Amino acid sequence: MIEWPDIDFGFLKKINPDTIGWIYLDDTSISYPVVKGRDDGYYLRHNFSCEESPHGCIYAEFEDEFPGKRVYFVGHNMKDNSMFAYITYYYYDKGFVDRNPVINLKTPDADYDIRIWGTMHFPKECIYMLQPLKDERIFREWKAAIEKMCPFRPKYDLKFDDDIAIFGTCRPFKEVSDGVLIAVGRIEKVH
């Protein structure tokens, strides 16, 4: 269980009222506030202080309930290993999921472990892979596609009724600059 530093959500909300949580992945650079804006493009180009920045900010998509059944977190894959660059390690480093099976999320109300289940990458033309999975038949097809493309065998069975987090980042392909990589996990409330 993670020992969280003191995170003052009141102070963070004074800096940015869109603050909804803090995300942390042990032994990586992922330790950031999470926001939820009114559109999905703003925080791709603005940092936590709402200043223009190529790094953007880690955010939950504005249409998602948070916390909820399906939450999609987005962050850039920066060459300096900041933001969501380490999310790509779940695909390219076969042992990374064994060393880092859980992404931690803290909100003002609760702490959550997000247990990584699978990962895949795809070109931008397949962006539908990120659609909310409200239909069980579509969920099963989506899950099967990830299982087929995932470089490791999932350690548990992800179910339609699970609360699911999808972490998405850009430029996942080492050989091309276009596309999306996702890591998928089950949200488990710690307390």
Q: Which 3-state string (H, E, C) describes 94-163?
A: CCHHHHCCEEEEECCCCEEEEEEEEEEEECHHHHHHHCCCCCHHHHHHHHHHHHHHCCCCCCCCCCCCCC
Residue 58 pLDDT level (bands cut at 50, 70, 90): very high
C-alpha–C-alpha distance, residues 75 and 168, integer Å: 7
pLDDT in tens, 133-162: 778 988 998 899 889 988 888 889 999 999
Confidence (pTM):
0.90
Residue ranges of domains in the chain, CATH in brackets: 61-189 (2.40.260.10)
Q: What is the pLDDT of residue 49?
A: 96
pLDDT at 130: 63
Nearest to 58 by CA among 188, 167, 190: 167
**Is 129's pLDDT higher than 80?**
no
| Gyration radius (Cα) of the chain, Å | 16
